Amino acid sequence: MPPPPPPPRNQPPRNPFKGLRQDKPAQDGKPPMPKWAIWAIVSAIVVLAFGSQFFAPSTGEKISYTEFLAQVKSGDVASITINNATNTISGEFENGGKFTTTGAVNMSDADEQLLKQMGVDYDFKTPQPNWITSLLPIILPFMFVIAFFVWMQRRAMGQAGNIMSVGRSKAKAYQADKPSTTFADVAGYDGVKLEIKEVVDFLRMPERFKEIGARVPKGILLVGPPGTGKTLFARAVAGEAGVGFLSVTGSDFMEMFVGVGASRVRDLFQQARKMGKAIIFIDEIDSIGRKRGAGLGGGHDEREQTLNQMLAEMDGFETTEGIVILAATNRPDILDPALLRPGRFDRQIIVPLPEFDERLAILKVHSRDKRMGTDVDLDTMAKATPGMSGADLANLVNEAALFAVRRGSAHIERIDFENARDRVVMGARRESLVLSAEEKRATAIHEGGHAILATVLPHSDPLHKVTILPRGMALGVTWTLPEERHTYSREFFEDLICKAMGGRVAEKIVFGHLNSGAANDLEQATSIARRMVREWGMSDKVGPMAWNGQQQVFLGEDLMTSGREYSDSTAKMLDDEISRILHEQEQRAHELLVKHRKGLELVAEKLLEDETIDGATVGRLVQEALETPTPTEA
């Protein structure tokens, strides 16, 4: 197919996306009649029918009937005309003036005799009705009936048109000459950019790859946690590719009618073929790409037909050369294996949570249009936000700006970022919740136990802040800063469980009883211990075996294979090992807190005084307690 000729000089280039969807042209080249013309015709008919009555010409001064009789007796009336239909009397005075009046329905004999005596020339007139007015009672019912049937026909045609167009693709076409997002707007992720740029370069310069026999991947699957920028990469491709770009979501293929999804897939690829070279982006592809025949009660016929049609389009008999499928999902484990095989989605690109350098670059991107104060250190903020995605960092910068506005400041300062980070990580502060003195002291002891263990345990993450101000659903929060890790040791998890037990054990040591404040701590500790035993092989008694938790049927696993894969004796052994780990770490937390009892009391007193203290203050108080001799030693 030869390329289209270049546009004439001094004329804008032809839009390659123009013409994909056009309105139906008027027949015979004549534009349709506008709606105002119909109303103009109706108004003209009304004016012709009733205009003589609505706009009757003036016939002179209007007088009363009594005054009219007086004028007749005085000989001032020359002639009159009596309208039999309206009983209106119009006449002319002797001096040439005109008048009108309204008489009785039937003129009395005395009045008529008076007119004869005074020599008044009078006449009776019966006006004939307008022919249009005579026909309106007959024509109007037929006009209303015809208008009703015309309206019903147009409504039926509109519904039929909607039904016929339900199988069309809902993909949005982006213009290549108006890029809104480029790779420069995506901070970090150099490896991901490199793999995606290869596809863009192939579509721009295919001869460079064909010389050595390279073939562009038909499909690229972006996989990563929510908020890592998968859709942002797709928008950057739309701005960088310079070819046709069609964007659609997985849910756009699903409708209540059977076969609509497959029809929309066919229409989507047909639009892409018309462009010659194109990129099709399907967001949240897991909504139509789930495993076929899985789940309770079998698969979804409409979803499976849609998936089958997509598989055929990507690897069918018709060529799709120059068409690349770009898809995104955060649930690759439920996708159908036929969709992921080479020849369809040849390449899977992992978009992970950003590292330190990438978080710093993302913070700089989202801060470049903000008024930043001189004391803001984005390096420190990037180090203090491990595990945050790009969306979380964007929200962090926006929250800092909101805090600056609340303070009435013209710039975003360090304190705003600190408050925003606390808001994002620990939740909003509950100002309306007021604790009693007893509850406040119990909370201080509880959080003090967590803080002490976070300080003295060798494999624990560094303590950042501890507060007894209610935030989110918690009455107090102990916050540690996770270090950049990619693998975790058994000692790390044991310290994590021990630290979770710190609040419960501290209350038991100081008050001699327990309360319900440790429910979330116990839930987290039990979950970690269960995964240590069942999944990570960190139990010497269980050994190198792993049993994942039961998969939910609706996530794509078959009902018959999702049951328990071990015997009752193995289940008891697993439960015993989980219980052993929890009890050992609780005993370890008790021994450490008894040893640092004085440090625990100092931290609790400081929390009651200041309500929020940092990790350095906790470390200093623990060291002071160790260096201070007890009364028995003195």
**447 classed as catalytic:** yes
Closest CA to 518 of 532, 507, 509: 507
Average pLDDT over residues 332-354: 84
Residue 120 has pLDDT above 90, yes or no: no
Dist CA 187 CA 366 (whole Å)? 10
* Both structure tokens of 285: 């592809």
| Least confident segment among 457-466, 470-479, 603-612 | 470-479
Tell me if residue 517 falls in helix, strand or coil: helix
The listed range with the strongest mean pLDDT (182-186, 312-316, 330-334) is: 330-334
Closest CA to 319 of 356, 276, 283: 276
Dist CA 173 CA 274 (whole Å)? 12
pLDDT of residue 16: 41
Instruction: Confirm if 244 and 173 have CB atoms less than 8 A apart.
Output: yes
pLDDT tens for each residue of 263-277:
788 888 888 788 777
Average pLDDT over residues 137-158: 76
Q: Residue 294 — φ and ψ, nearest 5°?
A: -110, 160
pLDDT of residue 578: 94
CATH topology of domain 172-350: Rossmann fold (3.40.50)
Task: Read off the pLDDT band of 157 (50, 70, 90).
Answer: low
* Residue bearing the bigger pLDDT, 60 or 363: 363
Tell me if residue 78 falls in helix, strand or coil: strand
Average pLDDT over residues 537-559: 67
The ranges assigned to domains in the chain are 52-125, 172-350, 359-426, 437-627
Instruction: Confirm if 394 and 491 have CB atoms less than 8 A apart.
Output: no
What rounded mean pLDDT belongs to the chain?
Answer: 77
Q: What strand order describes the sheet that includes 244-249?
A: 172-174, 244-249, 278-283, 323-329, 219-223, 347-350
Tell me if residue 290 falls in helix, strand or coil: strand
* Residue bearing the bigger pLDDT, 510 or 333: 510
Per CATH, the homologous superfamily of domain 437-627 is Peptidase M41 (1.20.58.760)
Q: Which amino acid, 379?
A: D
Instruction: Confirm if 243 and 370 have CB atoms less than 8 A apart.
Output: no
**Angle ∠(94,95,98) on CA atoms, nearest 5:** 85
pLDDT of residue 180: 66
Helix or strand holding residue 22 (H, E) = none
Residue 573 has pLDDT above 60, yes or no: yes
Dist CA 496 CA 490 (whole Å)? 10
Closest CA to 416 of 464, 361, 353, 370: 370
Residue 93 has pLDDT above 50, yes or no: yes
pLDDT of residue 17: 38
Of 3.40.50.1700, 3.40.50.880, 1.10.150.80, 1.10.8.60, the CATH number of 359-426 is 1.10.8.60
Instruction: Confirm if 351 and 223 have CB atoms less than 8 A apart.
Output: yes
Task: Read off the pLDDT band of 173 (50, 70, 90).
Answer: low
Q: Which amino acid, 334?
A: I
Q: How far is CA 122 from CA 23, 97, 362, in A?
A: 68, 16, 101
User: Which distant-in-sequence residues (6+ apart) come within 8 Å of 87 by Cβ?
Assistant: 102, 103, 104, 105
User: Which distant-in-sequence residues (6+ apart) come within 8 Å of 425 by Cβ?
Assistant: 479
Average pLDDT over residues 558-583: 79
Dist CA 385 CA 276 (whole Å)? 45
Chain mean position to CA 538:
42
Q: How far is CA 116 from CA 80, 99, 109, 122, 609, in A?
A: 12, 19, 11, 9, 119
* Residue bearing the bigger pLDDT, 253 or 605: 605
Closest CA to 424 of 472, 382, 377: 472
| Least confident segment among 105-109, 236-240, 459-463, 576-580 | 105-109
pLDDT of residue 27: 43
Dist CA 26 CA 183 (whole Å)? 44
CATH topology of domain 52-125: 3.30.720
**440: exposed, middle or buried (C-beta count within 10 Å: 0-12, 13-18, 19+)?**
middle
* Residue bearing the bigger pLDDT, 170 or 470: 470
Instruction: Confirm if 183 and 240 have CB atoms less than 8 A apart.
Output: yes
SS3 for 83-106, per residue?
ECCCCEEEEEECCCCEEEEECCCC
Considering just the CA atoms, what is the radius of gyration of the chain in Å?
43
User: Which distant-in-sequence residues (6+ apart) come within 8 Å of 365 by Cβ?
Assistant: 185, 187
Dist CA 143 CA 86 (whole Å)? 30
Polymer length in residues for the chain: 634
pLDDT of residue 46: 64
SS3 for 188-206, per residue?
CCHHHHHHHHHHHHHHHCH
Dist CA 558 CA 363 (whole Å)? 43
| Least confident segment among 14-23, 61-70, 142-151, 313-322 | 14-23
Instruction: Confirm if 611 and 467 have CB atoms less than 8 A apart.
Output: yes
From the candidates 302, 313, 447, 507, give the one annotated as an active-site residue: 447
Beta bridge partners of 477: 467
Helix or strand holding residue 249 (H, E) = strand 244-249
pLDDT of residue 230: 84
CA atoms within 13 A on the CB side of 285: 30
pLDDT of residue 237: 79
Residue 42 has pLDDT above 90, yes or no: no
pTM of the model: 0.64
442 CB neighbour count, 10 Å cutoff? 23
pLDDT of residue 25: 42
Beta bridge partners of 172: 247
Beta bridge partners of 220: 326, 347
How many helices (H) and strands (E) are present in the chain, helices listed first?
20, 14
Dist CA 143 CA 341 (whole Å)? 65
Dist CA 90 CA 103 (whole Å)? 10
Dist CA 40 CA 433 (whole Å)? 68
pLDDT of residue 36: 65
* Residue bearing the bigger pLDDT, 113 or 536: 536
pLDDT of residue 532: 93
pLDDT of residue 629: 63
Residue 422 has pLDDT above 50, yes or no: yes
Average pLDDT over residues 102-114: 75
Instruction: Confirm if 581 and 540 have CB atoms less than 8 A apart.
Output: no
pLDDT of residue 5: 46
Q: Residue 329 — φ and ψ, nearest 5°?
A: -160, 155
Residue 14 has pLDDT above 80, yes or no: no
Helix or strand holding residue 146 (H, E) = helix 131-164
